[in-house]
Amino acid sequence: MARILDKLELTPVTRLFVVDAPLVARHAQPGQFVIVRVDEHGERVPISITDFDPEAGTVTLVVQEVGRTSGLLCALEPGEELLDLAGPLGRPAPLPDTGHAALVGGGFGAGAIYPIARELRRRGVRVTSIVGARTAGLLILRELLEPASDAYEPCTDDGSLGYHGFTAARLGELVEQGAGFTSCFAVGPMPMMRAVAETTRPSALPTFVSLDPIMLDGTGMCGACRITVGGETRFACVDGPFFDAHAVDFDEAVVRSKMYVDEERVAREPVLVDTLGGA
C-alpha cells in the first residue's frame, strides 16, 4: 500500500501524485520506474518516477489518462492508497558527467525528464529541455523543468506556445544551429522517440530513449517487455528502460505495443483516446 499525499491536475487528462514510499524514494535514481496496481482486479503497470525525495520519503508520479488503469489511477484522491507500488525498477539512465545534454519530453514525458535534468545539472552538465504538447494548455511541469534547465524550449503542434511543430524538428534545428549537444535523452510517445532517433542518427549524437513496452512483473521474470536492440533481445524492465536510440528496433517495438488493442476495446470501461499526442 502506498498512500497518496498530494495530487495536482496538470491538464484535463494528466495528474501528478505525491506518494508516500520511503524505501522507493531512498533508492530511486533518475530514469527508473515503479510498478503500480490500483485494485484487486487491476493490472500491473509501469510508471516513470518524475521526482523523489529521500528526506520526505516520497515519490512523484505523473499519470496520463489513456486507458482503464490510468483512468482509475487519475480518479484517486489524497488520503487514498495505491494497492501496490513496487520499485524503484530498471536501471538508472546512463547519464554523462560533462557536455551539453538535450532532453526531449513529449506529453507526460516532460515529467520523466525532470529528474534527469536535475541530476545532470548537479553533475555540471549543460541542459537544454525541449518539451512538446498538442497545445499550450497541455504542456506540463514548466515550473519544475524550466528552473532545472539552462535552456527551456516549449513546442506546440498548434503554435500556441513556443516553437510551432514537433520536438524532434526543434531538436534538429538546434543541432543545425550549432547547439553543441553531446548527448540526448528522450521520453514520450513512441513516434516522438523514434523521430528523435532519426534526427540525431546522421550526426551520431549519443541518444537514449526510455522505452515503455507492455510489462507484467517488472523484475525480469516474464519477458513481456522484450525489445530488440542492436539485434539482441533485451528486457526493458531490467536492462532498460533507457536504450541506445540508434540501435532500437522501433518497428518491432511499435508492433508489440499493440499486442492487446483488441482486448483493450472490451476492457471494463471504454478506453479514452490519447488526446495529447505530444509528438
Partner 1 sequence: MGVVHPTKTAMPTLDPVERRAVWDEVATGYTVERALAEARRCIQCQEPLCELGCPVGVPIRDFVRQVQLGDFAGAAATIATRNVLPAICGRVCPVEHQCEAQCAVLGRLEPVGIGRLERFVADWERAQPRSGTAARPVQRLEQVAIVGSGPAGLTVASDLARLGYGVTVFEALHAIGGVLRYGIPEFRLPKAIVDEDVERLRELGVEFRTDVVVGKTVTVDELLGELGYSAVFVGTGAGSPKFMSIPGENLKGVYSANEYLTRVNLMRAYSFPDYDTPVKRPARAAVIGAGDTAMDAARVSIRLGAQETHVVYRRTQAEMGARAEDYRRCAEEGAIFDWLTLPTRFLGDDDGRVRALECVRMELGEPDASGRPRPVPVAGSEFELQANLVVIALGTNPNPLIPQTTAGLDVDGHGCVVVDSETGATSRPGVYAGGDIATGAATVILAMGAGRRAARAINDYLEGDGDDDGGA
DSSP tag of 89: E
- What does DSSP say about strands 151-156 and 126-133: parallel, antiparallel, or unpaired? parallel
Chain centroid to Cα 172, Å, comes to: 21
Q: Of 172 and 218, which has the nearer Cβ to partner 1?
A: 218
Q: Note whether 219 binds partner 1 by CB under 8 A.
A: yes
**Binding to partner 1 by residue 75, rule CB under 8 A?**
no
Judge residue 22's burial from the number of C-beta atoms within 10 Å of its C-beta, 0-12 exposed, 13-18 middle, 19 or more buried.
Answer: middle
Among 41, 177, 202, 204, binds partner 1 (CB under 8 A): 41
Which position among 3, 44, 118, 246 is part of the footprint of partner 1 (CB under 8 A)? Answer: 44
Residue 228 is a binding residue for partner 1 (CB under 8 A): yes
Q: Name 69's Cβ contacts closer than 8 Å, sequence gap at least 6.
A: 38, 42, 43, 45
Q: Which stretch binds partner 1 (CB under 8 A): 41-49, 56-64, 93-101, 271-279?
A: 41-49
Q: Shortest CA distance to 2 belongs to which of 58, 69, 46?
A: 58
Q: Which is nearer to partner 1, 32 or 210 (CB)?
A: 32
Give the HSE-up count for residue 170: Cα atoms under 13 Å, Cβ half-sphere: 27
Contacts (CB under 8 A) with partner 1, residues 80-139: 83-89
E strand residue ranges, the chain: 2-11, 14-20, 33-37, 45-53, 58-64, 81-82, 84-89, 100-106, 126-133, 151-156, 163-164, 183-187, 207-210, 226-229, 232-235, 242-244
143-155 burial by CB neighbour count: b if 16+ within 10 A, else e? Answer: ebbeebbeebbbb
Of 94, 223, 230, 270, the residue at the interface with partner 1 (CB under 8 A) is: 223
Cβ–Cβ under 8 Å, residues 222 and 206:
no
Least distance CB 219 / partner 1 (angstroms): 5
Q: Which stretch in 96-104, 120-128, 196-204, 225-233 sits in contact with partner 1 by CB under 8 A?
A: 225-233
Q: How many residues bind partner 1 (CB under 8 A)?
A: 40
CA-wise closest residue to 179 among 130, 218, 250: 130
Listed ranges 21-29, 109-117, 173-181, 183-191: which one lies at the site for partner 1 (CB under 8 A): 21-29
Give me the least distance between CB of 146 and partner 1, in Å please.
Answer: 31
Q: End-to-end distance of the chain based on CA atoms, in angstroms?
A: 34
Q: Least distance in Å: CB of 86 to partner 1?
A: 4
Residues 241 to 270 in contact with partner 1, rule: CB under 8 A: 252, 255-256, 258-260, 263-264, 266-268
Stretch that binds partner 1, among 56-64, 153-161, 189-197, 215-223 (CB under 8 A): 215-223
Residue numbers at the binding site for partner 1 (CB under 8 A): 23-24, 27, 37, 41-44, 68-69, 83-89, 216-217, 219-224, 226, 228, 233, 238, 252, 255-256, 258-260, 263-264, 266-268
